[in-house]
Every structure is written in C-alpha cells, then in structure tokens.
C-alpha cells in the first residue's frame, strides 16, 4: 500500500515540476504542450485504473470480513451535524440557514425521547387521628411520567410512582387508538375504569386525600390498578356521548386477590356525557367490578373461593363560562358504591358515598367541600363519616398549594380533627389537562 | 359458580361482538374540524359548499385553555380533516381528544392532520435556554400567527392542498376559491395598511402576547404586557412598572383579549390615562366578527377610533 502511495506522490511531483520546465523549453510549441497534457492525463488515468483494480482485488480478498465499506462513512463524519431552522422562523430575528446540533448522535436521539414530567406531592398533617394517622411531613409521592407515540398505530404511557414505600409502576400501558371497529384498546397496567376517583392519579384530585368510600370499599389509594386489557367503544346515538368499557385484569390489586391463573377480575363501565349549555354539562356513569378477595386465602391457597362484587354510580356536574373560563368554574361530584364481599361468616353488604363541590372564585383560587360516609367492606354493621373543607391556590399552572380541614367520625367512636396541607409541583413536559 | 362464569363469558363475548360493529363510513362532503374559528373561516373560504366545517373552540374563549369535553370526541370521530393552529397552542387539550376519537385519519402525522403553522411566518421564537421561569412560554414560537393576513393566505394554501388531495375531482373548484380568497385578502390588506399607515410606530401595551403578528404587519409597537410573563396573572409590582413605563413612553392604548379580566387593564388605564380596548384576536371574539375579513375590519376600525380619541401620534 505504501509503495503505491510513494509512486503516486512521485508522479504528482513529477507532473508539477516537469510541466513548467518543459514549458520553458518549448514556449512556442502550444500543440506540443497539449500533447504533453494529454499524455499526462492518460498516464494518470492508467494509474487510477491500476489502483482501482488492485483495490478491488484487495477488497475481494477481504470479502469474507464483515467490515462495512469505509468510503461512505468519511463524508458523514466530515459533515457538521445541522438542523433546519424551524419553518417560518426566518426573518423573525432568529437565526438563518442551518442550525448546528451539538453532541451529534445524542442530540438526534433526544428527538424521539418520550415527553417526561415529574410531579412532586408533598403532604403534611396536623391534629390528631388515632385510627388512620399519616406522617406530619412527607414527600408522599414523586410521580414520573414518560409518554410518547410508539409508532403509527400506538402510543405508550408510563407513570412510575416513587414514594416512601418504594417504587411502583402506577400505570404502564400501550394504547391502540385506531383499532378497526372504533375500539380504543389499552394493554398494560392501568387504573381500572371504575367510577371517577379510581381512575384519577393523586395530583388530579380536588383533595389532599381520597374519600372514605375509596379507602373502605375500593382498595384505598391504589384502588383497582392491575395488569390487564381494556377495550372501550363509543355507542352511536343521536342524543349524547356514550362510551362502554370492558376490562379484564389479572385479579391482583389492593381490592382483589388472585391465587389461580383463572381467577381474573372484571370491570365494566358505561359513561354518558351531555352538554346542557356551552357552559354547563353533566357526566354520569355506572360501574361494576368482580374478583376474588383474600378472605378465604390460607397459606397462599384460596380455600374459601370468596368473591367481591362492586357496583358504582357516579355523577359530575360542571359549570365553566367559556369567556371567563380561566377565572370561574364549579365542579360538583358524587359517587355511590355498593360492595358485596363474601367472607367466612357470610357475605357483607356495605354502601358508601361522597358528595363534593369545588368552586373557583378567582384565577388562582378554589374552595371546596366534601361530605363522606361509608360502611366497611369487612363489617357492614359499622360505618365512618367525615366532612372536609379545602382551599387551593395555584401560583401557576405548574404548582399548587392546598389546605384541607378534615373531620372524621370513625366507627371506633373516635373522632379525628386534622389540618392537612399539600404542595404539588410539576416539572417537565406540558401534559394535557384531563377532563 | 360455573354458571356465573359462563354467564360472564357470554356477556363478555356478546359485548365484544356488539362493540365490534363498525360505524358507517362518512360519505359525501368532506367533514373538516378546526380547532379555532379563524381556521374554520379560512377553510370555508377555500372549501365553499363542498365541505362541512366546524370549530372546536369559540372565538371568545382562551384557546390555550379549552376543556377536552367528550362531545368534541364525537365531532372528531366523524372528521375527515383536522386543521390545527399548532405551535403547541392546543397542547393542553387536543391530544387526548384526538387519541380518543378512534379516527385514524386525524391522528398526529396521519393524512388528515393539518398543522396550519408549518409555512406561516412565526414570531417570538425564544432564543437561548428556555425554562418555565419564562412563564408558559411557547418554545416553537408565538402561536397567534393568524393575525397577519399574509399568514391567512399561507393557512388557506395548506388547507387547499389537503382538500385537493382528498377530493382531486374538486381541485379546480378549490383552486378558484383559493385564488379568489387570496385576491380579496390582497385588496383588503392594501386598504387596511393604508388605514393604519398614519399610525405607524404607535406604541401599545397588550394583555397577552396575542398581537405580535398583528402589530408587526400593521406597524404597531408593542412595548409591554399586562401579564408579567406569558400565562402568569398580573402582579402588583409588574402593573406599577408597566404604568411607569407607559407614562414614560406616553403610551395611550392597552389591548385586551375578550377572555381576560378587565380589572388590571382598567387600573393601568386609570394610572396612565390610556384607553383600554377589548380587541378580539379571533373570529367570533365578538358578535360582529363573523369571518376572517371582518376580524381585521373590526380590529382596525376599533384601533383607529381609539387612536383618534386619545390623539395618539407615532412616537
């Protein structure tokens, strides 16, 4: 290889040096000069050809080796990575031409990174509660969301909750939005479509806590959240929005316990929505859930084969004048839930409900009330009841400070009077506001 | 128990069968849904009676904060085309609606999804590091670009191309209407520019950054905002600073979008002697503004009347 290089260089030097010297010798012979040039051209072409042949022979000899051809890589490396100026930016005082991308490959890969956000949920409590005390100060949860479009057919969503109890995948699912038949299919771990509160992440609630009925009958904070498949379809009709959802879960959540592969949990939900005026609307639904419970489990074996059935109805009234939408709004909501839990000693049938109202009286201020009453799933003969007042302040769309006075009369004849407060803050991508 | 299980299975199977019945495909005129009334008005100009057009947000509503109502899902389910303002204006409410629409035609990146901003002239693209300390900043530039009639033509062309692609048989019809619209915009723009010419360089304050393109086209100089940062409500200190600065620069006009509270702008008006104008940035912002042409007619007449009243002259 080196010999070729030397020969080549020598030839170039000879051409450069030889040409003018001969030019001096035959200044009058233009034709001779041309001939000379032609000769040199053909000599160069010969060398090129020879070189090419030898290279081809060498490549053929190395043919078996998996090394990719080096030639195309060279111009790519030599190029400075660049991005186009966004359309329309030209002339707006912004940069023109190509914009450099720093960090080349890594910067290009960021384009496909999912939208990321972290929502911090800091809770505090004062007062006394003997039945269900919470820490005086706690970073209750840091919810990380990673969301992106997977391909032309699906999108992916992950919500990972970091809390003092550990790390948990709150939700992680793929959504197929355009399955034939008008179906919306979700596969993964999701919060089940049972009523309203069960579907909502903590930061979307109007309170610092969850209602008593959720805690007593629907599996506490985690609720029905499980690995499964959800299929939803709109039901066409001329009057209102109607959506039916059917879900099948593995059967392991705070509420259900599955000890056999066949012990799945089922959730069904029917949601109706109607615009009363452009400012007001009603949203209502009915839900059903069924799965095995842990009452009959002895040493990991479900000897009792006990089942829990849950029925729920929910209704939401919203008012928000369009032209003053950022200053005034009202949301009234209620859920009633019946639980039938089979257990040793006979089934327990309990009922629980909450009713709440939240009024936004300024751009950054909300005030709310909630009334709670619920039996207990394991013991229908007792019930808890409570009242709450909330006041919420939004410094911006991305943070929120909330205070809640809560009074609960527990079945144990104990009354809890508490002042709860919460700081919530969101960093990262601007997620859509759910309705 | 076995009976219950079989009943459940039967119910599940019948539900799936019922749910799987495909909806009848839409036929006839193209069904165009736009996010705002401005886009709807332009789409009507191009499509005429060969398309049906409906807007999601009303013109008197803040387009950043539209609620993702399920009734919009029903409209999007039937849409052949979805025309959006883009530049993240609808980021807070449109994605869940599109996702739940079950309509493959209008998913992001699909053929029926039209981002009207792609070839428009966009202002206020932030430079340097962008953080939320700057407020609810739009990293892709100011999304209120339709308030420049030249951008109106760009939007019309984007819609035309999509309509012509979808209905090749009607291409000539759409093209004629596009040319007619462009001609009328050119004529009107000449008139509007002539009306505004005597006031070139007049300084104004606005509530939000809605009027950057309008000011740029018609020669107004926006010197300050009632909002301390985009999307952040007015603070007392910022209001005082704005009053001081307006007095110093002798600014006599405050423009406010119809969906903002007038308390702070009125205080600024009292503090500076400036006129407070509720100026619609969108078609439908006030009752009289029923189409894209009337939007400029109304706003320019409103401005000129107010400028004459305060005796404003270019600085």
Q: How far is A337 from chain B (nearest CA, A)?
A: 21
Nearest CA in chain B to A326: B65
* B266: its two tokens: 């009125």
Nearest CB to B258 within list A323, A326, A430: A323
pLDDT in tens, B157-208: 999 999 999 999 999 999 999 999 999 999 999 999 999 999 999 999 999 9
**Residue extents of the structural domains in chain A:** 116-428
Residue A61: the pLDDT is 62
Residue A429: the pLDDT is 83
Q: Are B27 and B19 in contact (CB under 8 A)?
A: no
* A422: its two tokens: 């919460």
Residue B313: the pLDDT is 56
Q: Which fold has domain A116-428?
A: Porin (2.40.160)
Alpha carbons A282 and B69: distance in angstroms, whole number: 11
User: What is the SS3 assignment for A208-251?
Assistant: CCCCHHHHHHCCCCCCCEEEEEEEEEECCCCCCEEEEEEEEECC
Q: Are A292 and A256 in contact (CB under 8 A)?
A: yes
Cβ pair B70:A243 closer than 8 A = yes
Cβ pair B22:A244 closer than 8 A = no
Spatial neighbors of B81 by CB under 8 A, at least 6 apart, are B30, B31, B32, B33, B105, B106, B112, B114, B159, B162, B163, B166
Backbone angles phi, psi at A174, to 5 degrees: -105, 140
* A259: its two tokens: 């000890």
Q: Are A246 and A231 in contact (CB under 8 A)?
A: yes
Alpha carbons A104 and A33: distance in angstroms, whole number: 50
Nearest to A94 by CA among A103, A85, A107: A85
pLDDT tier at A92, thresholds 50, 70, 90: very low
Residue A252: the pLDDT is 92
Nearest CB to B20 within list A181, A432, A435: A181
- Determine the 3-state secondary structure of B258 from DSSP: coil
Alpha carbons A305 and A291: distance in angstroms, whole number: 10
Q: Which of residues 119-148 of B touch A (CB under 8 A)?
A: 119-125, 127, 132, 135-136, 140-141, 145
Alpha carbons A386 and A415: distance in angstroms, whole number: 9
Residue A299: the pLDDT is 85
Nearest to A124 by CA among A420, A423, A425: A420
Tell me whether B7 touches chain A (CB under 8 Å). no
Q: What is the pLDDT along chain B (315 residues), one digit of tens a residue?
A: 444 555 555 555 444 444 444 343 344 799 999 999 999 999 999 999 999 999 999 999 999 999 999 999 999 999 999 999 999 999 999 999 999 999 999 998 899 999 999 999 999 998 888 888 888 888 899 999 999 999 999 999 999 999 999 999 999 999 999 999 999 999 999 999 999 999 999 999 999 999 999 999 999 999 999 999 998 999 999 999 999 999 999 999 999 999 999 999 999 999 999 999 999 999 999 999 999 999 999 999 999 999 999 886 554
For residue A165, give the DSSP letter. Answer: T
Alpha carbons A70 and A81: distance in angstroms, whole number: 19
pLDDT in tens, A32-46: 777 777 777 877 777
Alpha carbons B245 and B202: distance in angstroms, whole number: 15
Residue A164: the pLDDT is 93
Look at the block and give the residue holding tokens 């029923």: B290
Q: Which residues of A98-110 are buried (b: 16+ CB within 10 A; e: fewer)?
A: eeebeeeeeeeee
Exposure of A52 in the CB half-sphere (CA atoms within 13 A):
6
pLDDT in tens, A51-87: 777 776 666 665 544 444 434 333 333 344 455 555 5
Tell me whether B23 touches chain A (CB under 8 Å). yes
Look at the block and give the residue holding tokens 């990321």: A116
Look at the block and give the residue holding tokens 């912004």: A94
Alpha helices in A79-190, H assignment, sequence order? 104-110
* A249: its two tokens: 């879960």
Mutation site, A83, A85, A87, interface B, largest B CB count within 10 A: A87
Outline where DSSP puts E strands in B231-293: 253-256, 275-278
Q: How far is B284 from chain A (nearest CA, A)?
A: 11
Considering chain A, what percentage of its residues have pLDDT values greater than 70?
79
Alpha carbons B138 and B124: distance in angstroms, whole number: 9
- Determine the 3-state secondary structure of B267 from DSSP: helix
pLDDT tier at A138, thresholds 50, 70, 90: very high
pLDDT in tens, A216-265: 999 998 999 999 999 999 999 999 999 999 999 999 999 999 988 999 99
Q: Residues A273-290: what's their mean pLDDT?
A: 97
| Chain B neighbors of A155, CB-CB under 8 A | 99
Q: Which of residues 255-274 of B touch A (CB under 8 A)?
A: 258-259, 261
């Amino acid at each position: 290889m080196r010999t070729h290089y030397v020969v080549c260089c020598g030839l170039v030097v000879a051409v450069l040096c030889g040409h003018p010297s001969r030019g001096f010798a035959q200044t009058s012979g233009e034709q001779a000069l041309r001939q000379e040039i032609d000769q040199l051209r053909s000599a160069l072409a010969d060398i090129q050809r020879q070189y090419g042949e030898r290279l081809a022979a060498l490549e053929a000899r190395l043919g078996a080796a998996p090394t990719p051809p080096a030639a195309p890589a060279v111009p790519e490396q030599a190029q400075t990575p660049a991005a186009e100026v966004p359309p329309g930016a030209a002339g707006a005082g912004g940069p023109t031409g190509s914009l450099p991308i720093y960090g080349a490959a890594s910067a290009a890969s960021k384009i496909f990174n999912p939208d990321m956000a972290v929502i911090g949920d800091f809770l505090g409590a004062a007062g006394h509660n003997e039945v269900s005390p919470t820490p005086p100060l706690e970073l209750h949860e840091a919810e990380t969301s990673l969301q992106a479009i997977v391909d032309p057919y699906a999108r992916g969503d992950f919500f990972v909750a970091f809390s003092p109890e550990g790390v948990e995948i709150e939700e992680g699912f793929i959504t197929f939005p355009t399955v034939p038949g008008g179906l919306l299919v979700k596969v993964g771990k999701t919060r089940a479509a049972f009523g309203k509160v069960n579907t909502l992440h903590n930061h979307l609630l109007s309170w610092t806590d969850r209602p008593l009925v959720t805690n007593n009958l629907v599996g506490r904070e985690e609720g029905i959240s499980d690995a499964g498949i959800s299929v939803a379809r709109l039901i066409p009709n001329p009057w209102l929005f109607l959506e039916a959802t059917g879900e099948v879960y593995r059967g392991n959540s705070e509420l259900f316990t599955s000890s056999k592969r066949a012990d799945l949990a089922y959730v069904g939900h029917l949601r109706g929505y109607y615009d009363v005026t452009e400012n007001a609307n009603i949203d209502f639904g009915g839900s059903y859930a069924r799965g095995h419970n842990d009452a009959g489990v002895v040493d990991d074996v479900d000897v009792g084969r006990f089942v829990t059935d849950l029925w729920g109805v929910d209704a939401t009234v919203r008012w928000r004048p369009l032209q003053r939408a950022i200053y005034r709004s009202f949301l009234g909501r209620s859920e009633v839930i019946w639980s039938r839990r089979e257990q040793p000693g006979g089934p327990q049938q309990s009922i629980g409900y909450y009713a709440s109202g939240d009024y936004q009286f300024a751009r950054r201020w909300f005030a709310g009330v909630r009334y709670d009453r619920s039996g207990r799933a394991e013991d229908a003969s007792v019930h808890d009841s409570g009242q709450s007042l909330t006041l919420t302040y939004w410094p911006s769309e991305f943070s929120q400070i909330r205070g809640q006075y809560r009074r609960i009369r527990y079945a144990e004849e104990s009354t809890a009077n508490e002042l709860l407060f919460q700081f919530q803050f969101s960093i990262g991508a601007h997620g859509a506001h759910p309705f | 128990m076995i009976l219950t299980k079989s009943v459940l299975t039967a119910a599940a199977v019948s539900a799936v069968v019922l749910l799987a019945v495909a909806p009848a495909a839409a036929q006839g005129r193209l069904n165009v849904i736009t996010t705002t009334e401005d886009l709807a008005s332009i789409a009507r100009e191009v499509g005429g009676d060969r398309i049906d057009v409906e807007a999601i947000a009303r013109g008197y509503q803040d387009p950043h904060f539209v609620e993702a109502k399920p009734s919009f899902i029903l409209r999007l389910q039937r849409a052949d085309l979805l025309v959006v303002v883009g530049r993240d204006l609808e980021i807070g409410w449109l994605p869940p609606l599109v996702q739940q629409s079950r309509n493959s035609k209008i998913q992001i990146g699909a053929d029926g999804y039209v981002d009207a901003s792609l070839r428009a002239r966009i202002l206020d693209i932030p430079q340097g590091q962008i953080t939320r300390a700057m407020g609810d900043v739009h990293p892709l530039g100011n999304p209120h670009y339709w308030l420049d009639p030249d951008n109106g033509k760009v939007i019309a062309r984007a819609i035309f191309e999509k309509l012509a692609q979808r209905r090749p048989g009607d291409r000539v019809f759409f093209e004629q209407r596009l040319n007619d619209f462009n001609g009328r915009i050119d004529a009107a723009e000449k008139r509007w520019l002539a009306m505004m010419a005597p006031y070139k360089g007049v300084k104004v304050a606005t509530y939000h950054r809605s009027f950057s393109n309008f000011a740029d086209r018609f020669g107004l100089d926006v010197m300050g905002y009632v909002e301390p940062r985009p999307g952040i409500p007015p603070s007392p200190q910022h209001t005082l600073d704005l009053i001081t600065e307006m007095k110093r620069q002798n600014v006599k006009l405050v423009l406010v979008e119809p969906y903002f509270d007038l308390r702070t702008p009125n205080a600024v008006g009292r503090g500076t002697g400036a006129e407070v104008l509720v100026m619609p940035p969108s078609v439908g912002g006030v009752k009289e503004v029923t189409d894209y042409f009337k939007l400029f007619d109304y706003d320019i007449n409103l401005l000129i009347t107010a400028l004459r009243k305060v005796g404003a002259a270019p600085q």
